[in-house]
Structures are given as structure tokens and as C-alpha cells.
Amino acid sequence: MRIEIPFAVRQILEKLGQSGYEGYIVGGCVRDMLLGRSPEDWDITTSARPEQVKELFKRTIDTGIQHGTVTVMMDHVGYEVTTYRVDGTYSDGRHPDQVVFTPSLIEDLKRRDFTINAMAYSPAAGLVDEFQGQEDLRAGIIRCVGNPAERFSEDALRMLRAIRFSAQLGFEIDPKTLEAIRLLAANLEKVSRERVQVELTKLLMSANPQRMSLVYDTGLAPFVGEAFGGLGETGWRPSLSGGLPVKKPLRWAAFLREAGPEQARKILKGLMLDNDTISRTETLVRFWAVPLSEKKPDIRRGMSVMGAELFGDLLDLKEGLAGSKETEEAKTEEIRRIRLLKDEILADGDCLSLKDLALTGRDVMEETELRGPLVGQCLNRLLQLVLEDPKRNQREYLLQSLREFSIIE
């Protein structure tokens, strides 16, 4: 394998081994190592019980002790060490009713969702691949461990995970696994919206976001939510968002752009997305099709209203959606010119918000009789003058303008 196991992880495995227990890295990190990708995190599975793990290591945290997970701290980095377990039955299709520990690694691997996620490795024992995970990894196939219908009945989220992994890795879903998704799609309704959202977000942030079409084709979409399912009928065009920067609001906006801002907000709220992502996405959906001016004062106004970063995201979205057709090339050029102007505005440090204005609320109150919300309104008028021409952001000029306002009113 080309990827190195971190030293701390080796130490944990060694310590377990020296104490008479088995210890392996398992799941996503083994899959990613075999693919030559750097794993996000290193999960360890062991025959040792949680109490035994806690005895072996100086610093541990009871992260999910009821599920057998202890976090072992090594040099301020935490590694999850989980006892071999079988998940028992899922009578609600959501949570295992009880977690039962087992002395058998193979039993633990059997409960895992897909063959490519059901491999374990240790430097001492080598690779344990009981379900032909390597073969599926080579062939690019997402396949359930065991009977797909049973596995999806235990935990319906796995159906969405199958599509998410297929999008991340560019893999195909095995026909039997796919068939079981079509059959059991309605079970997704039982899963918590947060878990559904996490998978959909990962899907959209992947290298193949257009695979969202599978969520519709398999019949899962209506069970994500009514409004979400409804997007399928209005002609969701999946082919466009692959080259976009990997940012949550951008990817969600590309997907929801035809829905309109209100509907987009409703869908994301239903999926329990955080408020910041919701409001950014809503803004992008509102403006993605609105033509932008190439005049600097207009660009400053745009940057001032939505914030410089989101304005940049809007340009990225517009460019990403403009595509490569000849008719669209002029549009792409225009966006690039606007981006250059935006960068110039940032480099010059032009004032874009009240906090950069050369006059404060206190100044306004000292100079005028204005109080309360009128002070803010007044500052906003001054900001508008400065957005028009940044050279105006000088105390003397703004005080003069302030006096002129007061005379008129």
C-alpha cells in the first residue's frame, strides 16, 4: 500500500497486540489506502472491551461507550477505537436495538454496509478481506455485504450511502443492490433528516454531483421530502455542477437553482441544514440568473450587500453554469472581467461596509440631532456615496455630505 499508517495509529495497534488483543484499522481508511487516497480519519477495531481499551491508554474519552467506542488521545489527536460488535436488529429501521460485542473480527466486518468498506488491515496480520472488497474496489462496484434487501431494511440510510459512495468514487452500484434500493426506497422516510442531509451534501460535494439523478431514478427522492421530490418533475438538469468549487452553498445552489429562493430555503430547512449555509444558498439561487453590471460602483454595491466572499461564489456559480457552448463564451468572458474588477476592489481595500466608513454613528450624533435608527439610515446613505466612489471615504467629505443631508431634510 502506498499510504503510510500514521505512527500514532501503529502505536495503538501494537499496544493492543502486546496486551493480547487483536487490533486492526478498518472501513473507510483501508478502502482509501487501497485506492491510494489519503484517509480522512483512522478507525480502529479491536477485540478488547471498552474498559480494557481504557486501561491500556493514558488518555481516553468515552465518545460512544454504549456502542463500544473509546477515543484514544495520542499527541492531542483522537483516534476512535471500537470493540468488535454485531448490531442486532433494527426494529425501527434506524438504530440498532442493542449492540452486542463479539470476539470475532469477521462478525464485525459482516455488519458493515458495503464490501469496499468491510476490510480490515494490520501490519501484523495483513489485509482481512472476507467479502471480496478488493475485487469490487478494482472493478469499481458498490455492493452490499450480504443480502441487500436485508441490509437496507436494517438501516435505510445505507441506500443513500450507496449513491453517495458511487458519486465520490465514480463507481457503479451492483444491479442487485440497485434493485433493492428501488424496492425499499420508501423506508428512507424513517431516517433522521440530519443523516439524510449529511449524505446528500457529501454527494453534491463529490467529483460526480450529477449522480444526484440516481436519487430520483431509484425513487428515493420523494422520501427525502415532498418539495425535494417535486424538483424531479420540474426537470432537474443534473449535468452541470461537476466543475464547481467544492463549497456547500455553491453545490447546493447549483442543484436547487431552478427551484427559486423560497423553495430552496424550504427544502434546506426541512433537511436541517445550518442557517448560514441556507441563507448563502438562498442568495446564490436568487441571483445566479440575474445579469451583473461591469461597472465598478455596481460591483462594489453587490459585494457590499452580500459580502465579498459570497459575491465571489456567485461569480463561480455563474461561470460554472455558463458551460462551454460558443454562445456562452462571451458570458464567461464577462464574468472573468467582473472577477478581475472584484479582485482590484479587494486589493485597493475599498470601503464596502459601515465598519470601514470614515465616519461613525457617534460622529453623526455629534453633528446632527439624529438618534436611533435614523443614525443607521444616515450612515447607509453615506456608504452609498462611498460605494459610488471610494475616494469619498474621508472624514471631511462625509461631514460635508452629512450637513447637506440635514439641510434638505
Site residues (CB under 6 A) for ligand ATP? 27-28, 40, 43, 112-113, 117-118, 155, 157-158
Say how far apart CA 190 and CA 203 lie, in whole Å. Answer: 20
Q: How far is the CB of 54 from Mg ion (least distance, A)?
A: 23
Residue 158 touches which of Mg ion, ligand ATP, none (CB < 5 to 8 A by kind)?
ligand ATP
Give every CB contact of residue 368 below 8 A, 6+ residues apart in sequence: 378, 402, 406
Residue 280 touches which of Mg ion, ligand ATP, none (CB < 5 to 8 A by kind)?
none
Q: How far is the CB of 5 from Mg ion (least distance, A)?
A: 15
Q: How far is the CB of 297 from Mg ion (least distance, A)?
A: 48
Q: How far is the CB of 227 from Mg ion (least distance, A)?
A: 30
Q: Quick check: 345 and 296 in contact, CB under 8 A?
A: yes
Residue 108 touches which of Mg ion, ligand ATP, none (CB < 5 to 8 A by kind)?
none
Which C-beta is closer to ligand ATP: that of 18 or that of 38?
A: 38
Which C-beta is closer to ligand ATP: that of 113 or that of 136?
A: 113
Residue 157 touches which of Mg ion, ligand ATP, none (CB < 5 to 8 A by kind)?
ligand ATP
Which C-beta is closer to ligand ATP: that of 207 or that of 289?
A: 207
Say how far apart CA 300 and CA 87 lie, in whole Å. Answer: 56
Say how far apart CA 286 and CA 278 lie, in whole Å. Answer: 12
Which single residue brings its beta carbon nearest to Mg ion? 28
Q: How far is the CB of 38 from Mg ion (least distance, A)?
A: 12
Residue 366 touches which of Mg ion, ligand ATP, none (CB < 5 to 8 A by kind)?
none
Positions that interact with Mg ion (CB under 5 A):
28
Cell numbers for 235, please give them: 426537470
Helices of type H across 156-260: 157-169, 175-184, 193-204, 212-217, 226-230, 248-256
Q: How far is the CB of 108 from ligand ATP (least distance, A)?
A: 9
Q: How far is the CB of 113 from Mg ion (least distance, A)?
A: 12
Which C-beta is closer to ligand ATP: that of 117 or that of 393?
A: 117
Say how far apart CA 261 and CA 318 lie, in whole Å. Answer: 16
> Where is 272: in which H helix or E strand?
none
Which C-beta is closer to Mg ion: that of 80 or that of 258?
A: 80
Q: Give 116-144 as a DSSP string.
A: GG--EEETTTEEE-TT-HHHHHHHTEE-B
Per DSSP bridges, beta strands 23-26 and 120-122 are antiparallel
Give every CB contact of residue 344 below 8 A, 6+ residues apart in sequence: 296
Which C-beta is closer to Mg ion: that of 28 or that of 390?
A: 28
